[in-house]
A and B are shown apart, each in its own frame.
Chain A
């Protein structure tokens, strides 16, 4: 069973609010990722981190920011939410064992911006 957690699971907020989506994992993985999932269910990588104090932007441009101060924690922040940010956000981590990469996902945060 995956040990990766996201909070909140659902969030409805007004335009202009600052929000932080939390993600944590207890597997000791260095590499963590944030995806935005579009209505057609395709996954788009928006941020990733290869370890503490390492963060990079992903393939899809996003107005969000991330930080990685501790190995287990990878929060995503929106400084000023807009309706276009309404989406499902998935956090993931990757470990390497038995000669292949294994990726684990959190349950997701469903964000609605009014």
Chain B
């Protein structure tokens, strides 16, 4: 079945460092791909998405490119801030309409000043 694998955390960085969180997926067909972010004490919120191969999703300085050939959707940010400290979830949407997304296990990012 469909699945998502993302790098284990925690990831600890200094402010202004470069961030990469790896995500790979297994799916039939052509799923849409997402990154969600969960700040402390809150629910998950959509960070960015890509709905077809070679699409680049971007938001708040974060980017991820849908790579069909490597089945990957790595999250990147050029310069992280303390306020980016959160848990990041990679997810895919199965092709069946209205079906819940399949989530990775989450990666905790901690940024220090």
Contacts and interface: CB of A to CB of B under 8 A. Distances in A.
Contact of B89 (A31, A43, A94, A100): A43
B45 A42 contact: no
State which size class the interface on A falls in. 20 to 34
A99 B51 contact: yes
B99 to A, nearest CB: 6
* Chain B: interface size category: 20 to 34
B43 A101 contact: no
Interface stretch (A13-21, A67-75, A76-84, A104-112): A104-112
A100 B43 contact: no
Interface string B36-50: 101001111110010
A90 interface: yes
A90 B44 contact: yes
B103 A43 contact: yes
Contact of B98 (A30, A99, A108): A30
Contacts, number: 66
Contacts of A92: 44, 100
Contacts of A98: 51
B106 A106 contact: no
A108 B105 contact: no
Contacts of B49: 100
17 contacts: A31-B99, A33-B100, A40-B106, A41-B38, A90-B43, A90-B44, A92-B100, A96-B98, A100-B49, A101-B100, A101-B101, A103-B34, A103-B46, A105-B43, A106-B43, A107-B43, A108-B43
Interface of B: 32, 34, 36, 38, 41-46, 49, 51, 87, 89, 91, 93-94, 97-101, 103, 105-106, 108
Interface of A: 2, 6, 30-31, 33, 40-43, 45, 48, 50, 90, 92, 94-96, 98-103, 105-108, 110
